[in-house]
Amino acid sequence: MGLDQLIKRCKKKNAQAQEQLYRLYSSKLFSICLKYSSDVSSAEDTLQDAFITIFDKIGQYKNQGSFEGWIKRVTINTALQKYRKQKVFDIINEEQIEEVEVEVDEEEISMDYLLEIIQQLPDRYRLVFNLYVLDGYSHKEVSEMLEISVGTSKSNLARARNILKEKIQTNQELYVRPIEERR
């Protein structure tokens, strides 16, 4: 059965089709949930909430554009919904923004370590970092999605990068992969 047929069956609330769609996309969407969560348990909750929303709103998908892109946006919005309610963003002085670039040598950095330190970021920094750096949204888009100012988005990104840079520099022995693994 093709994806279009599977989507049609999901729109009719067919439980088998919903289960099949879940199996098809749950691992990809879980990795998104993990990026936006502080721990595995929270990511699992977000994934379940995202699929509830996907199945509730699948009728709004009009077969225009990528279905995978649509469900990824639904999943990101589901993750962000939790944080909007918590008001995790600080009001900041926008003049204090200093852009910091974090140089990461992909040959030496363990991806597990990188994901671990990103997850350790405070919510307000992790959300902006993920949206801007990992998912490619602009500061204007991030500000709209998180209901914050562009300046707050830029400031939180700079702070996230500073924290990551500091952790990478101070904990090199934890993440540097042995030379034999780099070959």
Instruction: Give residue-wise pLDDT tens across range 57-110.
Output: 999 998 888 999 999 999 999 998 877 766 545 444 444 444 444 444 444 667
CB 140 within 8 A of CB 150: yes
Closest CA to 3 of 79, 70, 49, 52: 70
Read off the DSSP letter of residue 176: B
Residues 50-54: what's their mean pLDDT? 97
* Chain region(s) in the chain for CATH 1.10.10.10: 94-182
Q: Say yes or no: domain 94-182 is CATH 3.90.1150.150.
A: no
What is the per-residue pLDDT for 102? Answer: 47
CATH topology of domain 3-86: Rna Polymerase Sigma Factor; Chain: A (1.10.1740)
Average pLDDT of the chain is 83
Local confidence band at 182 (pLDDT 50, 70, 90 cut-offs): very low
Q: C-alpha angle 33/36/37, rounded to 5°?
A: 80
Reduced to 3 states (helix: H, G, I; strand: E, B; else coil), residue 60 is helix
Render pLDDT for 6-39 as a digit per residue (tens, 0 to 9): 999 999 999 999 999 999 999 999 999 988 888 8
* Chain region(s) in the chain for CATH 1.10.1740.10: 3-86
Distance CA 79, CA 136 (A): 17
Closest CA to 100 of 164, 153, 35: 164
What is the per-residue pLDDT for 176? Answer: 53
